[in-house]
Amino acid sequence: MNPTPDNAAVAPEADVAAIVNADHPDPFSFLGMHEAADGALVVRAFQPRGHRLELVDAATGRPVADMARHHEEGLFAVHLPDRTQFFPYRFRLHDPDGVHDVDDPYRFGPLLGDVDRHLLAEGTHLDSYRKLGAHPATQEGVEGVSFAVWAPNARRVSVVGPFNHWDGRVHPMRFHPGSGLWEIFVPGLGQGTYYKYEIKASDGTLLALKADPYAFYARTPPETASVVWGLSDYAWSDQAWMERRGATVRTDSPMTVYEVHLGSWVRIPEEGQRSPTYRELAHRLVPYVRDMGFSHIELMPVSEFPFEGSWGYQPIGLFAPTSRYGTPDDFKYFVDACHDAGIGVIVDWVVGHFPEDPHGLVYFDGTHLYEHADPRRGRHRDWGTLIYNYGRPEVSNYLLTNALYWMDQFHIDGLRVDAVASMLYLDYSREDDDWVPNEYGGNENLEAIAFLRRMNERVYDAYPDTVTVAEESTSWPMVSQPTYLGGLGFGYKWNMGWMNDTLTYMLHDPIHRQHHHDELTFGLLYAFHENFLLPLSHDEVVHGKGSLLDRMPGDRWQKFGNLRAYFAFQWTHPGKKLIFMGDEIAQEREWKHDESIDWHLLEDPYHAGMQALVRDLNHLYRDTPALHRHDCASDGFEWIDASDNESSTISFLRKGDTPAETVAVVINFTPVVRHGYRLGVPFGGSWTIAFSSDCEAYGGAGVTTGGAVPGDQVPWHGRPHSLSLDVPPLGALVLKPDDPPAAGTTGPGGASGTATTASS
């Protein structure tokens, strides 16, 4: 063996004790290869399971020296008096598992450059996920995994996993004080490795093991470890879709959204009622949605989450598609299949709060790092969750880069931002003494507002052919207006007012609806203040509300008739459309996240008829320009009669770019046939019934199902022409003119004439 100087020079007692106790302030300054005081080299390693350690020349594979054990816990060191030039090396480890060569993490230099550290600290690193988290990498020809995490107030951070027997003493990380970042390259690891971070707070307290905030994959709950995955080179086949997808989310496009909870759309009964995988859904859900005519699927949150009953709305792994249904590449396969079928994918994005599970972001480095320390700003009382500190640059950057990550790595076409109202207001769902005003004394969360605006600006700048949608339930102005005009910058806003008013109207027995007519029509007073999407989401069929069908009044026939009329109203009303899975087949019971949709109901003609109705409404909406071209503009809508409360009937025009594209809609919300119902129209000649919700194929009565209706030169509703119709019970009719005036004209009493709300 090579001679060595005294132990104090090779392995100073204080340093050894700090390493053994996992409390060394700079392990890279001690472990690994260093120049000794005499100019020679000294190599130190901590291998607590080793009973012998040899230093090996990596170039030749030959042993250089045995390393002396300087502490019984496994601190080894060797002094090399004949070596003055640093050289690549590895260790030959003798432990209970046998003899094997291992590379030393402490021989490798820093991973994060000055620019990355500066941008990350500044909160302007728009692709921080490429630097933080766990990435399979090669350093100096050695394969392994690079780990990096932000924990500025920690005393020590170690990466732990089965590879080091979850021992935080083995792989303490390098700290960059100016940025609060910790990093290490661990040789020999690869994709699929389980890991967490062991963090010691500044006061020496060991925290619960933490999952990686930037993990791209995670173990399936109830397991909580992160999984090394990396940014894979998935071979996408959706180039054609990506080139044209921008046209599918424009305000003049027919956008209909099918909201899905992946775990309960269908179950596999022959395999214990398990949920389908991403790849199985690609071959079952995607063809179904395409056949039904929806333009987009909206996925309830797919970011990893611990509690099944949260449906994903309490996420912990924002960068990890949930492993419940497969790997990140499996999820990409699903998105690819959607795109190949001409279907866009919107994901619910939850950045309004996060849960307190100890392996998550809560008290991450022993301080309130991601959340506000003051519970009046940092805690949601209703949900038992924590609120992000949007004013902290690193936190807002974490969330912003996550939005871009989904679009970059998964080709996601849109983000529906959950619970925006809870982000905008400091006093959201709080008592008077439980909130802190902003610097101007108001209740607006200025930091969250700035974050949302920045998010929308960055998303639309990087991916102008995608869309952002706000679930915002208040009258906050200009949610879907550009930020340069003072808006929040979203593409669309959910019209919660329309949903609440009209569902309330539908709950009334038809005999009483004449007294609540305004609940049906009020939404048109503000229908064009925002770019609206009309949502009948999962929220309307949970928490004891029952299914949509169950909430309709009357006997079985009337329940179905009411729901058919309601869907027809939604599809012909200005605004884009969204319904939740199961609504299209008139699910009879409330949705349950751990059970399949009741697909057996389609054996019943009423349920099959509802499915056919929704399919045909989608195609009618897509193929009829008047029903979508001006969804978000007032010149695409005109009341014919909004005030016929005695008949509980409404009628209106939807208009396209030419008179020929005009359609008339009349909907009867009573179970009584309106014989000889006179409807004022802008053009003379006959009109053809293009759609009737009363068709027997849908389960209707078949009173009025189609054909041409002759026009009369009888002035009505302030127009020179009219039609005499038998409007079916609980039914809707959509009519198109057979002989409209030529483009560039309106004809007598044309479609551009003055609207009226009074019957003649």
Bridge-based pairing state of the strands 492-494 and 721-727: unpaired
Predicted confidence (pLDDT) per residue in 566-587, tens digit: 999 999 999 999 999 999 999 9
Predicted confidence (pLDDT) per residue in 33-51, tens digit: 999 989 999 999 999 999 9
Average pLDDT of 89-116? 95
In the chain, ranges of CATH 2.60.40.10 domains:
7-107
Rounded to whole angstroms, the Cα distance separating 689 from 695 reads 11
pLDDT above 80 for 336: yes
Give, in order, the Cα–Cα distances in Å from 169 to each of 22, 48, 200.
5, 9, 11
pLDDT above 70 for 1: no
Q: What local confidence, expressed as pLDDT, does residue 676 receive?
A: 95
Give, in order, the Cα–Cα distances in Å from 92 to each of 55, 80, 481, 688.
6, 17, 64, 85
- Residues composing the chain: 760
pTM: 0.94
Average pLDDT of 438-459? 97
The two structure tokens encoding residue 599: 């697909």
The pLDDT confidence band at residue 232, using thresholds 50, 70 and 90, is: confident
Average pLDDT of 528-535? 98
Q: Check: CB of residue 164 under 8 Å from CB of residue 145.
A: no
In the chain, ranges of CATH 2.60.40.1180 domains:
500-526+553-575+601-616+632-760
Q: Which residues are catalytic?
A: 418, 471
Predicted confidence (pLDDT) per residue in 412-437, tens digit: 999 999 999 999 999 999 999 999 99
Residue 103's closest CA among 73, 136, 143?
143
Percent of the chain with pLDDT over 90: 94
Q: Check: CB of residue 42 under 8 Å from CB of residue 78.
A: yes
Percent of the chain with pLDDT over 70: 97
pLDDT above 70 for 4: no
User: Domain 500-526+553-575+601-616+632-760 belongs to what architecture?
Assistant: Sandwich (2.60)
How many helices (DSSP H) and strands (DSSP E) are in the chain?
A: 15, 36
CATH number of 7-107: 2.60.40.10
pLDDT above 70 for 720: yes
3-state helix, strand, coil split of the chain in percent (to 5) is: 30, 25, 45
pLDDT above 80 for 759: no
pLDDT above 80 for 145: yes
Average pLDDT of 469-482? 96
Average pLDDT of 90-113? 95
